[in-house]
């Protein structure tokens, strides 16, 4: 009775890029859940459609009534049934009628409302009482590619992980210390640097990919030595954005270099070895599972090779990746797949096959904090959610609050 859905409200709100997105409220007899959906800029081609053709306005005018008339009276605890109903209402394979962002915001708001109906935080409702591990934050310190303007490095995300931090607060503040140090190092390389930042709060300098890698490494070492924590560099190449299928090459405009698939494997391998990369995401085009497999075979014992655009949180694509050994990590973004239950199925398959799940934000975010709860509930050892910026710290600060609530908190373990 407590968790029966009494009302569904959908509204148009702003995201961090100034674009419209949907926020959903689910009201139960004894609870309330609110979730806003994010949006990507470097999206995988197999992601579900974010919105119907008419955009967010169509969701507000047409879709809200359709959804609320079906969901009112259902029990928010029956999430898989509710996700099936949403899929039926939509009637397509990719949520192009109601929008994957609408579906995922409803799905996650339903879970939050169910948790709230029993006065539980979401991570505990989904993950159970014994959860006590906090994920390490992958902090974004320098932005390039589709998350930055022209003359920025081509590599999309330069990230850092404080792998020996003892608690989440130490981890988060280690990441921002690297972010701050990097600004000073950039100023030495780029005399015209204005302090500009990209979509995810990393700096956007006019420097080469090589220089960016060098100062990323230097900032990790310097801050690591100063505060006594091992901080490792990581990358998201978002290489589908670099791949030019007409010439079959990865085009690095900032460096004026193109690389074919074989050269790309050698390039990425060399970066991993030279800089001791902890984690490398999307080093190849989303369709190049063979490239992923070759790199994983060569360096997968010392570096996480992570698929984002290649897997799009889809369990069938992950199953293909597992069969081909195309990576040892998967990015988990609920809005790529459109429901919380489908997201969970993908996480489960990953864990059963020793593939590390990394719960992630999108480049266009809101102040929604739900993914912090999902990372804890799923026991994901890593969360990628930036280092600074209001929409990024919403998740990081929530992790600080969650850690405070746990009985015997510890940082996550890597297998």
Ligand X SMILES: C=C(OP(=O)(O)O)C(=O)O
Using CB under 5 A as the criterion, which residues of the chain lie in contact with Mg ion when the complex forms? 236, 281, 308
Stretch that binds ligand X, among 69-77, 186-194, 356-364, 366-374 (CB under 6 A): 356-364
Build a one-symbol-per-residue string for 86-125: x at contacts with ligand X by CB under 6 A, - elsewhere: ----------------------------------------
Provide, rounded to whole angstroms, the least separation between the CB of residue 85 and ligand X.
Answer: 27
Q: Per-residue x/- mask for ligand X, residues 30 to 59, rule CB under 6 A?
A: ----------xxxx----------------
Active site residue 197: no
**According to the annotation, is 281 in a ligand binding site?**
yes
Hey, CA dihedral for 398, 400, 401, 406, is it positive or negative?
A: positive
> Among residues 42 and 117, whose Cβ is nearest to ligand X?
42
Taking the least distance from each CB to Mg ion, the nearer of 241 and 403 is 241
Distance CA 222, CA 215 (A): 10
Shortest reach from residue 262's CB to ligand X, in Å? 24
For position 154 contacting ligand X by CB under 6 A, the verdict is: no
- Establish whether 294 is an annotated binding residue: no
- Residue 189 annotated to the active site: no
- Contact, 134 vs 411, CB < 8 A? yes
For the record, the structure tokens of 278 come out as 């902890």
Q: Is 325 annotated as a binding residue?
A: no
Phi, psi of 239 (to 5 degrees): -70, -15
> Around Cβ 266, how many Cβ atoms within 10 Å?
12
Which of the following is catalytic: 64, 133, 200, 286? 200
Q: How far is the CB of 239 from ligand X (least distance, A)?
A: 10
Number of residues that bind ligand X (CB under 6 A): 11
By a kind-dependent CB cut-off of 5 to 8 A, residue 360 interacts, out of ligand X, Mg ion, none, with: ligand X
240 assigned to a ligand binding site: no
Which of positions 292-311 make contact with ligand X (CB under 6 A)? 308
Q: How many residues does the chain have?
A: 415
Position closest to Mg ion via CB: 308
Contact pick of 296, 339, 363, 366 for ligand X (by CB under 6 A): 363
Q: Which is nearer to ligand X, 91 or 196 (CB)?
A: 196
Residue 156 labeled ligand binder:
yes
Rounded to an integer, what distance in angstroms lies between the CA atom of residue 147 and that of residue 153? 10
The single residue of 197, 232, 333, 395 carrying the catalytic annotation is: 333
Between 115 and 375, name the residue whose CB sits nearer to ligand X: 375
Site for ligand X in 219-258 (CB under 6 A): 236, 238
Measured from the CB atom, is 42 or 343 closer to ligand X? 42
Q: Min. distance of Cβ 121 from Mg ion in angstroms?
A: 28
Tell me whether strands 157-161 and 232-236 are parallel, antiparallel or unpaired: antiparallel
Q: Per the annotation, where are the binding residues for substrate?
A: 147, 157, 281, 308, 360-363, 384
Question: What is the set of active-site residues?
Answer: 200, 333
Annotated binding site: 147, 156-157, 236, 281, 308, 333, 360-363, 384
Residues found near ligand X in the complex (CB under 6 A): 40-43, 236, 238, 308, 331, 360, 362-363
């Amino acid at each position: 009775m407590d968790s029966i859905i009494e009302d569904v409200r959908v509204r148009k709100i702003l995201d961090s890029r100034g674009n419209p997105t949907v926020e959903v409220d689910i009201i139960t007899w004894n609870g309330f859940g609110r979730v806003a959906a994010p949006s990507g800029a470097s999206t995988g081609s197999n992601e579900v459609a974010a919105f119907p053709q008419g955009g967010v306005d169509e969701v507000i005018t047409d879709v809200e009534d359709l959804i609320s008339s079906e969901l009112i009276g259902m029990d928010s605890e029956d999430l898989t049934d509710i996700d099936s109903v949403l899929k039926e209402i939509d009637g397509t394979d990719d949520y192009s009628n109601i929008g994957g962002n609408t579906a995922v915001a409803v799905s996650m708001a339903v879970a939050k409302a169910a948790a709230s109906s029993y006065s539980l935080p979401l991570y505990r409702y989904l993950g159970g009482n014994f959860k006590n591990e906090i994920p390490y934050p992958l902090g974004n310190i320098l932005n390039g590619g589709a998350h930055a303007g022209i003359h920025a490095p081509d590599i999309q995300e330069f990230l850092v992980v404080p792998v020996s931090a003892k608690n989440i607060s130490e981890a988060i503040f280690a990441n921002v210390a690297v972010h701050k140090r990097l600004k000073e190092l950039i100023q030495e390389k780029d005399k015209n640097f204005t302090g500009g930042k990209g979509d995810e709060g990393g700096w956007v300098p006019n420097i080469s990919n090589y220089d960016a890698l060098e100062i990323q490494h230097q900032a990790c070492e310097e801050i690591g030595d100063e505060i006594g924590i091992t901080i490792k560099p990581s990358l998201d190449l978002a290489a589908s954005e670099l791949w030019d299928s007409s010439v079959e090459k990865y085009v690095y405009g900032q460096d004026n270099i193109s690389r074919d698939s074989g050269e790309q494997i050698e390039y990425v391998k060399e970066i991993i070895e030279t800089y001791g990369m902890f984690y490398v995401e999307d080093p190849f085009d989303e369709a190049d599972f063979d490239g992923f497999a070759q790199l994983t075979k060569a360096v997968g014992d010392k570096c996480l090779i992570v698929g984002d655009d290649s897997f799009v949180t889809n369990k069938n694509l992950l199953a293909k990746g597992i069969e081909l050994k195309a990576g040892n990590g998967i990015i988990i973004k609920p809005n790529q797949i459109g429901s919380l239950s489908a997201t969970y199925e993908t996480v489960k398959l990953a864990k059963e096959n020793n593939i590390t799940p990394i719960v992630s934000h999108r480049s266009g975010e809101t102040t929604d904090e739900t993914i912090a709860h999902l990372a804890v509930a799923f026991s994901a050892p890593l969360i990628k959610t930036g280092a600074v910026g209001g929409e990024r710290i919403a998740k990081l600060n929530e992790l600080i609050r969650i850690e405070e609530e746990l009985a015997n908190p510890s940082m996550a373990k890597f297998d």
